[in-house]
Amino acid sequence: MKFSKSIITGGAGFIGSNLADHLIRIGHKVIVLDNFVSGKKSNLSHHKKKNLKIFKIDISKNKNLDQYFKGADYVFHLAGLAEIIPSIKNPRKYFINNAIGTLKVVQAAKKAKIKKLIYAASSSCYGNTKSFPTSEKEKIDLKHPYAATKFIGEEIVMSYALSFGMPNISLRFFNVYGPRLNTSGQYSAVIGNFLKQTKNKKPLTVVGDGKQTRDFIHVDDLSEAFIKIIKSKLVNKIYNLGSGKKTSINSIAKLFGGKKKYVPLRPGEPKHSLANISKIKKDINWRPKISIKEGISNLKKANFY
């Protein structure tokens, strides 16, 4: 029996390691390419060696990327530096890592004649839009180097689809959360911060007045969408990938419970973010299943006990 072979760049990170679980569950052999700048081996340690191979490489610097891509069916390109403030402090590092890194991955995938490449784009490309829910047709408004590097990556992926008929799809993730969410970084996302603070019995740091809203999507719903995309015939498309529901930071804090501490707003972050997900729902017959209440409750249980 022929197994599908999937490459996950950034597969030791939060989203990549969850995706690896889903792919292995449906019988794929997974190859992870990661430099462990934020990913962890422990995120993947529950897998058997026959299902998963890990290579410690930097996709933006490695000179022999092609060798890892030989015989691959699918490529999920998730490797990237993913924080806003560090991208403002060191834009060059972000451009090399995220934009050049993407170019190298796309070139290697092209040579290997893969069946589908999925790129992890970001809703940060919509900047401070006032149009909600935001559709893929909304204008691009890049507010910081992180957003710019992720968008350039998308342009590379789509230009290879257009010029060379590569079977590429770009998914613009909104706020993804779930098990193994990064809680260590100084600038980690709100749910990661709240998890860490609750565990350490510290007050929850709410940015601004907490009335900002975000579109939170559970990583299991996200992974299901990935799998439906690779099973589909879709190519050369861009999709929003969110829950289509808005949740305020204050209501997330309420789901966690406990004391709150208000801290100043951070630069470049929009007041609201909400995905219009009609396009992906229609094209792959997918819908998010995990409510934010259920998702947070499961995370709290997993983190505390």
Active site residues: 146
Judged by CB, which is closer to ligand NAD: 37, or 265?
A: 37
Residue 5 as a binder of ligand NAD (CB under 6 A): the answer is no
Kindly determine how many residues on this chain lie close enough to bind ligand NAD according to the rule CB under 6 A. 30
- Smallest CA-to-CA distance from 52 within 86, 84, 104, 16 is with 16
| Position among 3, 26, 27, 37 found at the interface with ligand NAD (CB under 6 A) | 37
Decide: helix, strand or coil at residue 26. coil
- At 192, phi and psi to the nearest 5? -60, -45
Q: Is position 39 an interface residue for ligand NAD (rule: CB under 6 A)?
A: yes
Let me know: does 78 contact 10? Beta carbons within 8 Å: yes
Binding segment toward ligand NAD, per CB under 6 A, in 14-22, 87-95, 196-204, 226-234 = 14-22
Cβ(44)–Cβ(67) below 8 Å:
no
- Write down the least CB distance from residue 175 to ligand NAD, Å: 5
By CB under 6 A, what part of segment 231-250 binds ligand NAD?
A: none
- Contact in structure between 146 and 174 (CB atoms under 8 Å): no
CA-closest candidate to residue 207, choices 265, 268, 248, 255: 265
Contact pick of 3, 36, 164, 262 for ligand NAD (by CB under 6 A): 36
Q: How far is the CB of 219 from ligand NAD (least distance, A)?
A: 8
Contact 119, 131 (CB under 8 A): no
Piece in contact with ligand NAD (CB under 6 A), picked from 21-29, 78-86, 156-164, 247-255:
78-86
Q: Is 171 in the site for ligand NAD (CB under 6 A)?
A: no
Phi-psi region of 111 (alpha: psi -120 to 50; beta: other; left: phi over 0): alpha
Tokens of 37: 């700048």
Q: Establish if 15 lies at the interface with ligand NAD (CB under 6 A).
A: yes
8, 44, 101, 206: residue in contact with ligand NAD (rule CB under 6 A): 101
Among 30, 81, 156, 229, indicate the residue that binds ligand NAD (CB under 6 A). Answer: 81
Q: Are 163 and 156 in contact (CB under 8 A)?
A: no
Name the residue type at position 59: I
Considering the rule CB under 6 A, would residue 79 count as an interface residue with ligand NAD? yes
Instruction: Note the maximum CA span of the chain.
Output: 57
Determine if 30 is a binding residue for ligand NAD (CB under 6 A).
Answer: no
Determine the Cα–Cα distance for residues 205 and 280; give it in Å rounded to an integer: 34
176 binds ligand NAD (CB under 6 A): yes
- Told to check if 35 binds ligand NAD by CB under 6 A, we report yes
Q: What burial class does residue 291 get, using C-beta atoms within 10 Å of its C-beta: 0-12 exposed, 13-18 middle, 19+ buried?
A: middle
Stretch that binds ligand NAD, among 66-74, 79-87, 159-167, 224-232 (CB under 6 A): 79-87
Minimal distance, residue 86 CB to ligand NAD, in Å: 11
Query: Which x/- pattern over 132-151 shows residues binding ligand NAD (rule: CB under 6 A)?
Result: ------------------x-
Sequence-ordered alpha helix ranges (H) in the chain: 14-25, 65-69, 84-89, 91-94, 101-111, 145-164, 190-199, 219-231, 249-256, 278-284, 292-304
78 binding ligand NAD? (CB under 6 A): yes
Q: What is the contact surface with ligand NAD in residues (CB under 6 A)?
A: 10, 12-16, 33-39, 58-60, 78-82, 97, 101, 120, 122, 150, 173, 175-176, 182
